[in-house]
Every structure is written in structure tokens, then in C-alpha cells.
Structure 1
Amino acid sequence: MASELDRIIDQVSKDKGIDKKILIDALETAMLNAAKKKLGAHRDIEARYNPELGEVELFEFKVVVEQVQDSDTEISLEEARKTDSGVEVGDSLGKKIPLEIFGRISAQTARQVIMQKVREAEREMLYNLYKDQKGELVHGSVQRFEKNGDIIVNLGKGEAILPVKEQIPRETYRIGDRVRAFIYDVDKNAKGPIVKLSRARPEMLKKLFELEVPEIYDGVVEIKGAAREPGGRAKIAVYSRDIDVDPVGACVGMKGSRVQAVVHELRGEKIDIVPYSPDIATWVCNALAPAEISKVIIDEREHAIEVIVPDNQLSLAIGKKGQNVRLASKLVGWKIEIHGETEAEDSLQRAKARLEKIEGVGDVMARSLLNIGIYSPKEILEWDAESLAQATQMGLKKAQKLQELARKHLETESAETEAPEESAGMAAGENAEDLERKDDGLPKSGGIVAEETPVSVESSGEKV
């Protein structure tokens, strides 16, 4: 075992890039623990690696005493001088422990320690290699499949995991298939592979376009946002820093070659490339293309946008199962509601009528409130007076007066709602009292009055 162990340490150190001292220290610690476990934890034992013999030597130390009270930690002077004639009372005398008493434990321990250190070193090496590649694309091959659907990918210098939730739906693989994926996390403390991959995240889409479009790589064209429903459809917003470069055309490429390369990598996922605009209304219109947009109403306080489209464009704007509007909402980062013109007009007229019920609010004022997204008296009170005055371009005093009138209107409405309920309750009470009074004049036998009248019965000609 001696020379063999030395060769193993040297070989592992070279192949795995592990410092030889780390392996030796680990072996010494492991052998020391094994010895204390077998002989007793209270014993004074040391482990030292002997490079000449190529083995870990164990030494047990005992204190020299006149009279032994604990044979595990003490040795008599007479016994000690048989080993070392110059020893004195109080000295510590060491004696080598033969490895044979451990049987196969020493060999197994050495093997386990080396394997453990190799695994730790590989994880450390893999972490150092990929920690700076987080957010990049990597290539690998499918190594095996886990029971839960996760895929273990061989990156060449280590393993990575492609979780089932990060895979494109309906995408299938076989052992040995090549995989290109996006590194979204490198977790040193993970129980399994520390490198985590994704093919379903929007970042994957961005990175693929960076590879295919030189203008993006050079920084002339910038990706402003991306949204995906993996395996179905995606939207990506692009912007050009050079007025002479069409960002959409650059991403599409000659005869669609660039975008088709991305589509092919994502297994046929449809991709909409839309021009970015700093104007949110324009950006939303672009994101909802190819649907035609009639009107966009922006509510910055709620971070919401109401989009009005022609009735015949409603289904196109919403998309199949709402996919188009969902992706557009993810892309711009705003909540989007879509309504047809007919529905919107009806809703607008109802809202206008509600506002005009407020004292002093006429057609012009109602339209002004509708234009800033106020559709009810209650919403007037949700604004602070200064913001309301600024948004409607009315004076502060007028805005405060409007809020006061809106509050009175709501109080009146509330009172009118409660009044019928009270009246109904009173009427019910009166009816009950009337019935009770009428019942007092009636007999308790169901309202039928029984009068005593003589009854004659003829039987056999006799009167009774």
C-alpha cells in the first residue's frame, strides 16, 4: 500500500490539479479520526505522512509516571526506559501504532478521502471556471436523465443541470445530443451540479441574437427587452444608436437568415421583432403589432395602459388565448387592457354620465377628467389636489372645489341607497303590526266563528 499510495497521490495531484499537501493533510486527518474511533478519543495520537515509506504513520503518546493510574494515557518509568533509556518522569513518550491492527480500514479510508477531495476539488475548479460565465451561452452534451425530468449536461470539464422547468416544452433529447443553453446560476453550495442551465428564459433569446447579429455584438443595435412563452412565441424590442441602421432589419438579416437561425435553435419558436420607442404609447402599439391601434390611454399611477382597437382587430390584438397581449405586457412592463371601439365608447359614455352627475361638472369638464383616466367620482378623490390641478390644467382652488363636490355627491348617493332600505324595513314593521291588530279581533281557531244552534235529529220517530 505504501508505494502505491504515494503514486496515487502524485497522479491525482497532477490530473486534477489538486495541491499534494491538501491530499496529504486530508489523509492524515482521516487516519487520525479512524485511529481514535478504534482506540478511543481520549488517547493522544498523532498522524504523519512519511514520504519515504509512502504511508501515513500513527504515533501514540503517553506521559511517563512513577505509578500508572491510566494505562491509556500513562506509562511507567520502568517500561518507558525499555524503549528510551534517557526518558524521565513527566516526559511524553511516543510509540508507533502498527497499521495492521486496523485491517482494511486504512486502505478504505485512504481511498475514500482521496475520492472526497477529488470531488471537492472538481467542484471548486468548476466553480472558478464558470462563476464569471454566468449569463453566457455554453455547449454540452446530454449525459443522463433524472427521474424528475432534469437533464444532466456534460460541459467537458464538469457537469451542469438543465432543470425541467428551464426546458422548452415538448423539446426532446437523447443521450449524447448536443445542447446549447444559458447559464443562469452558478451555486457553489448546491447539492447536485453547481452550474444551472436554461433554454426557456428571455436571456437565452437575447444571447442568441447577440451571436447572430454583429450590430448587437458591436453595440450599434441594443436589445431593450424580451418576452417569451417558450416553444410558442416570443417578442424582442430593439433600438438603434445609429439612425442609418434599421434595428429590425439588422435582426431579421438577408432573407430572414439571422432570425431563422435563432428560430431553428429554439425549435421553431415564432419571434416578433419590434422597434423600441422611449414613448410608451408608441412602444405599446409596436408591441401589439400587427393589430391596428385606435387609441392608447395611459394610467401612470396604476402603471396600466388601456388600448382601444377597431372591433375587427380585437381578436388579432389579443392573440390566440391572449398570447399577443400577454407577451406585449411582459415586453413593455405595463399592465395592458384591450377593448374594442364599440365597447370602449359605451363604457366611456357611462363614465361621462357618472361624472356629469356631480354638481358643476359639464361636458367639457367630464371629458377633461376622462382624458386623464378618471372615470368616476370616487377616482377624483383618489388624486391629490395639486396633481389633479396640474393634470387637468385647472387651478388648485378649482380642483379642491371639484373634490369637495365629488365627496358630497358620493355622500348623497350613499344616503339615497340607505334610505330605501330603511323605508322597506319600516313598511315591513307596519304590516306586521296591522296583521297583529287584526288577529286580535279574530278567534284563535283559524278565523271561523262557531255559534251554538239547536240541532234536532230524528230517529225512530222520537225527538231527542
Structure 2
Amino acid sequence: MAITSANQLELLQTAEAVAREKMIDPRLVIEAMEESLARAAKSRYGAEMDIRVKIDRKTGRATFTRVRTVVEDDAVENYQAEFTVEQAKQYMADPQVGDEYVEEVPPVDLGRIAAQSAKQVILQKVREAERDRQYEEFKDRAGTIINGIVKREEYGNVIVDVGAGEAILRRNEKIGREAYRPNDRIRCYIKDVRREPRGPQIFLSRTAPEFMAELFKMEVPEIYDGIIEIKAVARDPGSRAKIAVVSYDNSIDPVGACVGMRGSRVQAVVNELQGEKIDIIPWNQDVPTFLVNALQPAEVTKVVLYEDAERIEVVVPEEQLSLAIGRRGQNVRLASQLTGLDIDIMTEEEESKRRQAEFENRTRLFMDTLDLDEFFAQLLVAEGFTNLEEVAYVDLDELLVIEGVDESTAAELQARARDYLEAQNKAALENARALGVEDSLVEFEGLTPQMIEALAKDGVKTLEDFATCADWELAGGWTTVNGERVKDEGILEPFDVSLEEAQNMVMTARILLGWVDPAELESAEEAEEGDDTEEEEAGA
């Protein structure tokens, strides 16, 4: 069939029909038709020719043109689509390099094979336009809730019709043993939207903590209006969850607002989440107080926060231990996710035994290193001294407050402590040199002999080796693996080197080696501070 012999208006009608069906711009369909006709014309006139087709948007008439471009004399590569200035003078009055000469050529009647090829081009372009439209529609909806209809289930994954396309709810994103049948209505959280070769992929979730947060936003007007904010959510999907909320209006109770009259608001969320029990907790800026709230309904006796280690110790009465831990550790696990801290729970008896063990260990340390009797060593521990450095370098007045200690006794204590530490430092330095440590690392400011020895045992023997270390390799840190926080041991962690101190030491080493320009570093820090200031002003 020859397209050029068909009713010209039929092209426009076809374009509009396809555009309506696929919900895309008719211009995209017409452009696809133009490209397909141009490709078919090239197969007739020659693939090297620059043939272009323009379809009139009002009449539907297809105009075929050949385009030749004026180039430099020595730049002609394609004689069918390019020509020199001299050659162009035959067709143009004053040709300049870069000008185009356009001449109309006879329309092409498409044979069966050419028509089929043109059809494939149009279908491909329409399909691409449809995919682009779907991606543009959903890319900004990531992080929101969407309603859909179940179409089918494939290997445990649910394919959901979301109106303008299909989305996938993977089996690990379903709550418990949820089962769906075709045409069931389903509500999900749009977790991610990706542009992929086979089209946009929309990934849904019903287990994401954000799903619960969005459900509460729908049920609680105060959250939607920003009067109440959800600070954190922790879930064991289908079983139990904890959600921390705070109110910015003193007259509104955040927990009561989320619960609703006779529990109506929270019950609506519970029903959507297949009966998942939800603990609504008041958020508090004070971490220990927040943790006490998070461990409800268990009662907490004492909380000790270790900020550098992002760890917290909780002491509970014996009868409250099982309640605080929860079934299979669920309560403490959710509280840990909510606060972002590792939680160690112990009973009052266990804490007492641990404190007693620490007291005995410190007492033995002072007895062995300072040649003291047990009573005197216990006095030091009772006054809060935990290591030899504190005894050796503390102000003399702090030793004089100990009962029975005069100036000469205090001076003797400090002398013994310093002698012992110096001997330890000398031994550590000798061990480090025996392992091959170079002077560049020994002379680096901020590292003690014990630190240098520890670095040498780990293979860090030069300043260059030290400069290539990451801060977490030195100070330690935490990595999340499969939802669980795993401890990364640091080389200098036993010496209480913080992450910030490790960062500063590594950067200083890089500056000394000439790897980093201090001026550039200072400029970058000033720029970063400027950005922070602008963000604060914008927020204000």
C-alpha cells in the first residue's frame, strides 16, 4: 500500500487516535511518522542522502526534501549530503560554510516491506514516548501512597495496575503472609521509580517504615498540617511497630492526636497493616529520656549513654527484663531502630556485679603498677581514678583530697605512675621499631608509642601508610548489614580516639605529605560554611 496515495488527513486522524489511546502528545506521533517516512525514502534514494520529511499539521500533506550542507573544501566526507562553497554557487547566490540547501524531491510510494518497517519505527517511537510519560508521571510520586488493583502474581511478586502503568510489589515488601487475588484493591507506598531500558519500573512496599508514616499523615490532620511531626518509625512488619511523634503546639498532645477519639485514628492504620500493633511514643530531644519512652511498657531504673560509641546501657529491675527485651528481642530491637543506638539491657544485679568487677580490676591495676596495698588502691578507685594517666598527670590537689595523702605521698604516687608509663612507652616504641616503623610515623604529633605499636601490628608503618587510612579504620564505626548494625573495629579504638580526631590526624598527615593544599582545604571549608549559613537563612 502506498502511504502517499492515502487520504492525507488520515495521517492526522491516525496520529490523534494513537495519541489518545496512549495518552501522549499527538506531535510525538507525527514526529515518529516523519522519521519513519524519511527512513523509507533513504532506502529508495540512497542511505547517504539527508532526506527529511515534514507533515503539515493542518492538511496532513507530507513534504519530502533533500538537504545538503555547505562545508570547507577539505571537509567533504559525504558527497550526497555535503558540498563545497564552489559547488554550492550553482544553486545558491552567496553560499557560506554551514548553510543548507534544501530541495523538494518526489514523494515515495512505500512497498509492503517498507510500510512494515515504517510501522515498526512508529510503534517504537510511540512506545518510547509512552515510557517517558509514565516515568515523568511517577518519578515525583516516589515517597507517596498509591492505590492500585492487583493484576496477577508472579513467583510471589504482585503486579499492580496503578492506572497509567504497572508496578511491582516484591514478596519481601509484603506484610507477613499477605495473599492477593486478581482485581483485589491494594494500597502501597511508592518506594522507588527507576528508568530502565524495558520501561519505567515502579517498586512498591508495604513494609517500609515510611508507609506507616504516610498512613498516619492521611489519618491525622495535625501531622498533615505540620503541627505534629513524625520523628522516627521502627517496624517489625505485620507484628509490632513504634512511632515517635512531637507536637509544636503546646495545647496539642501528639500521642492523643495520633490515637484519636476512642482509638479511631490509630485503629484505621492498624487495620491497613493487617493488625500490626503500634506503640505511639512522645519524642524527646534528650536521648536517655527518649529511650525510656521507647522501651515502654518496661520500667527503666538507670540509663548510661556512651555518645562516641553510639551505645546506651539500660538498667531495669529483674522482673522487668523480659518485658524490656520483648518476645524474641522485639521490643529492644525496635527501640534501637527508633533511637539509632545500640542498647545493652541488664538487670540491677548484673550491673552491680559488673561495677564490682570493674572496681576490682582497677584496684588490681593500681596495686600491680604502683606497688600499693589493697586499701590504698581502693581509695584511688573510689575517688574516681580509672587509669595510670589520670594519676600521673592530674593536679596534685586532686590527690591531696584523698584521706591520708599528703604532698610527699602524692608526689611519690605521681612519680611511680610516670616511671611506669615511661617504661611502657619505651617498650612499645622498641616493639614498633622492631616491626619496621619509620621515623616519619614515630615523629608524627598526636600518636602515643602504644598507638604506634598498634598501627605497626596492623601493617601501618610509615606516614604514607597512615595518610591512606580511612577515619573509621582508625576510630572504628558501625555498618548496617541486612538491617542489622555491625561493629567495625578500629586500630586506635582501644585508645578512645574519636572519629573527628581520626579525621583531623589523617588530614594533617596528608597535608604534611603535600597530598592536600591547606589553602584549598580552607576555601572548601569556608564554602561549606557559607552553604550552611544560606540553608539556615532559607529555613528561617
The TM tier, using the shorter chain, reads 0.5 to 0.7
Q: Deviations over 1:339-395 (max 9, x none)?
A: 12222221221111111223378546535659xxx7xx59x79xxx99xxxxxxx9x
Structure of higher CA gyration radius: 1
How far is 1:229 from its partner? 1.5
Which residue in 2 is equivalent to 1:366? 381
> Does the aligned pair in 1 maintain the 2:24–2:133 contact within 8 Å?
no
Measured in 2, the distance between the counterparts of 1:403 and 1:202 equals: 57
Matched, 1:99 2:100: no
1:26 aligned residue: 32
Query: 1:322 is matched with which residue?
Result: 329
Find the aligned partners of 1:406 and 1:246 in 2 and give their Cα distance: 61
More displaced stretch, 310-319 vs 320-329: 310-319
Q: Distance in 1 between matches of 2:102 and 2:421?
A: 98
**Aligned mates of 1:19, 1:180 — CA distance in 2:** 30
Letter in 2 for 1:139: N
Change (3 A) 1:307 1:264: same
- The structure-2 alpha-carbon separation of the partners of 1:363 and 1:217, relative to structure 1 and needing over 3 Å to count, comes to farther
Question: What's the % identity of the aligned pairs?
Answer: 43
Contact 1:153–1:159 (CA under 8 A) maintained in structure 2: yes
Query: In the alignment, which residue of structure 2 is the partner of 1:185?
Result: 192
In structure 1, the partner of 2:15 is: 9
Match of 1:174 in 2: 181
Q: Displacement of 1:36 after TM fit?
A: 4.2
* TM-score (normalizing by structure 1): 0.68
The answer to whether 1:274 aligns with 2:281 is yes
> Within 5 Å, which residues of 2 pair with 1:306-345?
306-345=313-352
- Structure 2 gaps, min length 5: 69-78, 82-89, 92-100, 371-375, 395-401, 403-409, 429-540
State the aligned residue count.
375
What amino acid does structure 1 have at the position aligned with 2:150?
V
User: What's the offset of the Cα at 1:406?
Assistant: 11
3-state SS of 2:271 partner = helix
Is the 2:49–2:80 contact (alpha carbons within 8 Å) kept by the matching residues of 1?
yes
Q: Distance in 2 between matches of 1:315 and 1:150?
A: 37
The residue correspondences of 1:28-107 to structure 2 (distance < 5 A) are 28-36=34-42, 41-43=47-49, 45-49=51-55, 96=106, 98-100=108-110, 102-106=111-115
What letter is aligned with 2:381?
A: A
Q: Within 5 A, what are the aligned runs for 1:27-426?
A: 27-36=33-42, 41-43=47-49, 45-49=51-55, 96=106, 98-100=108-110, 102-106=111-115, 108-147=116-155, 149-189=156-196, 191-359=198-366, 362-363=377-378, 366=381, 377=387, 408=421, 411=424
Pick closer, same or farther for the CA change 1:406–1:5 going to 2, 3 Å.
Answer: farther
CA RMSD of aligned residues (A): 4.3
Q: Which moved more, 1:241-250 or 1:200-209?
A: 241-250
1:288 deviation in Å? 0.9
Change in Cα spacing, 1:304 to 1:15, as seen in structure 2 (3 Å) is: same
CA distance 1:264–1:404, change in 2 (3 Å): farther
SS of equivalent to 1:197? strand
CA distance, structure 1, for counterparts of residue 325 and residue 122 of structure 2: 61
* TM, length-normalised to structure 2: 0.59
Task: Report the CA distance between 1:94 and its aligned residue.
Answer: 6.8
Q: Deviations over 1:74-103 (max 9, x none)?
A: 9xxxxxxxxxxx99xxx9987536434x32
- Offset at 1:11? 1.9
Q: Tell me which amino acid in the other structure corresponds to 1:196.
A: F
The question of whether the paired residues in 1 share the 8 Å contact of 2:188 and 2:204 is answered with yes
1:194-217: CA deviations, max 9, x gaps? 433221111111111112122222
SS for the counterpart of 2:18 is helix
Offset at residue 35 of structure 1 (A): 4.9
- One-letter amino acid of the structure 2 residue matched with residue 366 of structure 1: V
